[in-house]
Amino acid sequence: MVNLTIDGRAIQSEPGKTLLEVAKEHGIFIPYLCYHPALKPIGSCRICVVEVKPGPPRPLPACATYVAEGQEVVTESPRLRAIRQELMKLVLINHALDCPICDKGGECELQELTHALGVGQVDLEAQPTAPNIDYVSRLIERHPDRCVTCGRCVHICRDHVGAMAINFMHRGYFTELGSGLLPLDCEFCGSCVDICPVGALINKTFKYRARAWEVERAETVCPFCGGGCTYQVHTRDGQVVRVVNEDSVLLCGRGRFGFPVLTAEDRLRTPLIKENGAFREADWEEALDLAARRLKEIIEEKGPGAVYGVGSPRATNEANYLFQKFFRAGLGTNQVDNPARYHYVRALEALAEIFGWPQVEGAEAGPRPREAYASPLTLTEAAKGKGFSFVLGTIEDLPKADLALVVGMDVTPELPPLGWAINEASLKDDFKLIVANPRLTKFDRNAALSLRYAPGSERLLAAGLIKALLTAHPDWTPAIPAQGLEEFKEALKKATVKEMAKKTGVDEALLKEAAELLAQAKAPAIIFGAELLAQDKGGQNALALADLFLLVGQPEAPGSRLYPVAEKANTRGVCEVGVLPDRLPGLQPLTSELAAKIFAPQAPASQPGLTLPEVLDRLEADAEDAPQALYALGGDFLRWLPHRSRTEKVLQKLSFMVVQDAFLTDTAKLADVVLPVAVFVEQEGTFLSSDGRLGVSSRVLSPIGVKPDWQIISELGRRLGFPLKYSGPAAIFQEMAPAMPLWAGAAPRATVPAAGFAAAPAGRFVPFDLDISLPGRRPYVLIVGKSLQHSGSFTTHQPCGTLVVTPGAALELHPEDAAALNLAAGDSAKVISSYGEVTAPVALSADLPPGVVLLAEHFGEPAAHTLTLNSNLVRVSIQKA
């Protein structure tokens, strides 16, 4: 601890803090303009100057001066006041005094500072400069005439977002915020807008919609990706006008600009019933009665197993929990699954194979939690856990790692917060990044090594790394207690580094270097995403990377963890609350007695249900045990499952289908009853983020005509003769949380499993396949990937703000390929695979290697999965359309 005095007050502080931070903690006011808690000190405005003794005779900026033993700090004196006032006058010299129309008016730090420092008028004059206002850029408007050149936006864009889209132009008095005299062409995350202390950067979707003091604020969790950002949603007159992250300021484009989708014209507002092939609007009673009657008929005729349920990563934990309870307690079957089966569940199963399913001890019922969404289970001192949940990392801890290996994932489109964490880690000197991807991604710039491998060869790459490491270090012992290393080495005997290098297309020396970096790392993290899991051998890919982690992981070091990416807001939650055919809530086995209590008096069936792919296979084969009815909590299977034409054909074989969704998706169009649901701030509940953080969605708007998922499930249950009666989502949470020891200590914004568990991960090496399965003779490899501006299909409905940036999917290909095909940007190209064809506009991208093309999967048109068979990789040929 450091002892110092500020304005005569004796203060103790931790070393390494700045004077400004310490003063703020102790309620001592020091005015500032360029400092922001989310950023490193900038020190450009000098308004926070203080007198420091011992020190130089001139005042020092408090934001960039670190505390030292015996310091005497004076924050207020006539000299300091004169300096601050003079600096403020210089800032205000030509500040555009358009506070009445500036959106920042009322929450402007310059306004507050002018009041605080009592600067009544500016007696200085300067040559006026041209305002150069940028009205042209999309989503963001720039007013350089309001800029105070503090540099916050430049720093957040460079250090945290990693886009480096804006910087200062010119020097001195003529310094101006700019992007090279061109409109902005960045990630459009809008973080610069919210960090701007004045109104120099304006959010176009919020412009002129409300004054700062008119909005009502509520905290909620972002409904888009699996990042689980909690932010404040600002509403006025029952409409969301903007969302702001008041803590770290960082949000991604879809988080910040995606909310207008709530008011989309094509949102469903009344239930629909299909009659003679056409939908008609119905009221809730009629639709629910019909759904219940038809389900009852099918159950009576074919047994309860004939009804199959598909949960949703869009719905809350409470809704998904109730959904699986509907099947387990109501129908007595395990016939539920969720669409993450095609990516995230593969990772879970691979991890479970190596590290085991999570098991915890020492969680017991504690006092009734004060918060509605906090688990009543608390951790005892002896609390410990094992299994794969304890090798999964949190985004917060990632910067503590000293090496991150990112495999097969374009981080920012899949999970923006993970990208920010990598950027934050990259600011450290001792952090190294290895990026392995077939294409160039944003993070290659920060990477110590870039491994450019052939699409679909991820597991070979992992094998190459493992092999190179074991060859260089024959006596390697993993830090995690592991079994089966000898057998594993034996299984990999045939795979040589040279062969792996040849098959993956990565230079052998690079592979060895990467392996050496992994071997040297004190806290290596391994990050992988949906792009690699969505392949037909996605499970094998996950297995390979989990083996690699078992080899090099350092469980004692925070940050040295595995980071499989759960793509949507509740992809991890839907699995953890038990919407799986073979796992109960809390990922407990079907035999768990604790979880069985919640299904009383019905004991959960001991027979695991069918998985979603198995259901589709059986339907296709017209098997005897194929389900007759499907109850989907949401999710557009046609758009997200590979081989669209087959999915469509197979779903048509169902004799009855109920879909709950916010939009009439292509899948919902096949349904017999469509029930519209509340989304985002129209409903209450929790989401579990990709890194296990519990986020609470609060109900701010009253949904018009639609119902929250849990209410619909509960009403259907009542009509089928089993009451699922709850006062609200909080009551559901309080029922499920006691049955899930893995969630002990869970609370809003806290992570599960709680840090209090003494983690004892242990693993067993499991050999994996070493083949590349990318059959066919067509010349190009298509990767069905993610778009930066979209999350699921939700953001593809007007008037979502990010549609301005990315209005549709484009076929991205290398300029050389385009030239060979005689295609130019903007042309439309016909993409043909053995399973279908689509027409898409062409975009050129030098990020892709020649021979590899990319198409985003979010859009209804062109529907990327028309082309695929069982993987997100497919061989295609391309023609000019």
Partner 1 sequence: MIIPLLKGLATTLRMVFTKPITLQYPEEKRPVYPRFRGHPELVVDDDGERRCVACTLCMVVCPSNAIKQITPAEGEYHEKYPVEFVVDLTRCIFCGFCQEACPKAAIKLNNLYELAQYEKQMLIYDIKRLTQQQSRLRDGDWL
Contacts with partner 1 by CB under 8 A lie at 99-101, 105, 133, 135, 207-209, 211, 213-214
Q: 421 phi and psi, to 5 degrees? A: -65, -40
CB 93 within 8 A of CB 145: no
d(CA 531, CA 542): 11
In angstroms, give the least distance from the CB of 241 to partner 1: 12
Which of residues 107 and 396 has its CB atom nearest to partner 1 in the complex?
107
d(CA 598, CA 294): 27
In angstroms, give the least distance from the CB of 207 to partner 1: 7
Which of residues 214 and 364 has its CB atom nearest to partner 1 in the complex?
214
In angstroms, give the least distance from the CB of 876 to partner 1: 45
Which of residues 174 and 213 has its CB atom nearest to partner 1 in the complex?
213
d(CA 180, CA 167): 8
User: How many residues would you count in the chain?
Assistant: 881
| Angle between helices 508-520 and 497-504 in degrees, nearest 10 | 110
Candidates 453, 537, 460, 468; CA nearest to 500 is 460
Residue 745 CA to chain centroid, in angstroms?
Answer: 23
Which of residues 132 and 698 has its CB atom nearest to partner 1 in the complex?
132
Candidates 477, 503, 507; CA nearest to 489 is 477
Which of residues 170 and 207 has its CB atom nearest to partner 1 in the complex?
207
- Listed in sequence order, the DSSP H helices in 652-780 are 666-670, 709-719, 729-736
**Residue 638 parent element (H or E):** helix 637-640
In angstroms, give the least distance from the CB of 267 to partner 1: 24
Which of residues 214 and 490 has its CB atom nearest to partner 1 in the complex?
214
In angstroms, give the least distance from the CB of 139 to partner 1: 15
In angstroms, give the least distance from the CB of 310 to partner 1: 44
In angstroms, give the least distance from the CB of 138 to partner 1: 15
Which of residues 133 and 372 has its CB atom nearest to partner 1 in the complex?
133
d(CA 768, CA 541): 8
**Beta strand spans in 542-613 (E):** 562-564, 583-584, 588-589
Which of residues 106 and 505 has its CB atom nearest to partner 1 in the complex?
106
In angstroms, give the least distance from the CB of 184 to partner 1: 17
CB 572 within 8 A of CB 487: no
Which of residues 79 and 207 has its CB atom nearest to partner 1 in the complex?
207
In angstroms, give the least distance from the CB of 98 to partner 1: 9
In angstroms, give the least distance from the CB of 106 to partner 1: 9
d(CA 306, CA 656): 10
C-alpha distances out from residue 426 to 13, 444, 445, Å: 27, 12, 11
d(CA 52, CA 72): 6
Which of residues 211 and 274 has its CB atom nearest to partner 1 in the complex?
211
In angstroms, give the least distance from the CB of 407 to partner 1: 46
Please classify residue 118 by burial: count the beta carbons closer than 10 Å to its beta carbon, then call 0-12 exposed, 13-18 middle and 19+ buried: exposed
Which of residues 101 and 116 has its CB atom nearest to partner 1 in the complex?
101
Candidates 781, 785, 783; CA nearest to 858 is 785
In angstroms, give the least distance from the CB of 236 to partner 1: 11
**Residue 467 parent element (H or E):** helix 458-472
**Residue 150 parent element (H or E):** none
Which of residues 158 and 211 has its CB atom nearest to partner 1 in the complex?
211
| 267 DSSP β-pair partners | 663
In angstroms, give the least distance from the CB of 99 to partner 1: 7
The CA angle 330-332-333, to the nearest 5 degrees, is: 120
In angstroms, give the least distance from the CB of 96 to partner 1: 13
In angstroms, give the least distance from the CB of 200 to partner 1: 15
Residue 204 CA to chain centroid, in angstroms?
Answer: 24
Q: What is the residue type of 756? A: G
d(CA 737, CA 694): 12
Cis geometry, peptide bond prior to residue 862 (ω within 30 degrees of 0): yes
Q: 646 phi and psi, to 5 degrees? A: -70, -45
Which of residues 214 and 247 has its CB atom nearest to partner 1 in the complex?
214
**Beta strand spans in 683-779 (E):** 685-688, 694-697, 758-759, 763-764
Which of residues 174 and 208 has its CB atom nearest to partner 1 in the complex?
208
Which of residues 141 and 691 has its CB atom nearest to partner 1 in the complex?
141
Candidates 312, 470, 827; CA nearest to 478 is 470
Please classify residue 652 by burial: count the beta carbons closer than 10 Å to its beta carbon, then call 0-12 exposed, 13-18 middle and 19+ buried: exposed
C-alpha distances out from residue 615 to 619, 626, 635, Å: 6, 6, 16
In angstroms, give the least distance from the CB of 131 to partner 1: 11
Which of residues 207 and 597 has its CB atom nearest to partner 1 in the complex?
207
Which of residues 105 and 728 has its CB atom nearest to partner 1 in the complex?
105
Report the 10 Å Cβ neighbour count for 181: 8
d(CA 334, CA 585): 12
Candidates 328, 357, 311; CA nearest to 596 is 328
- Listed in sequence order, the DSSP H helices in 495-556 are 497-504, 508-520, 530-533, 538-552
In angstroms, give the least distance from the CB of 112 to partner 1: 16
Which of residues 97 and 760 has its CB atom nearest to partner 1 in the complex?
97
In angstroms, give the least distance from the CB of 540 to partner 1: 54
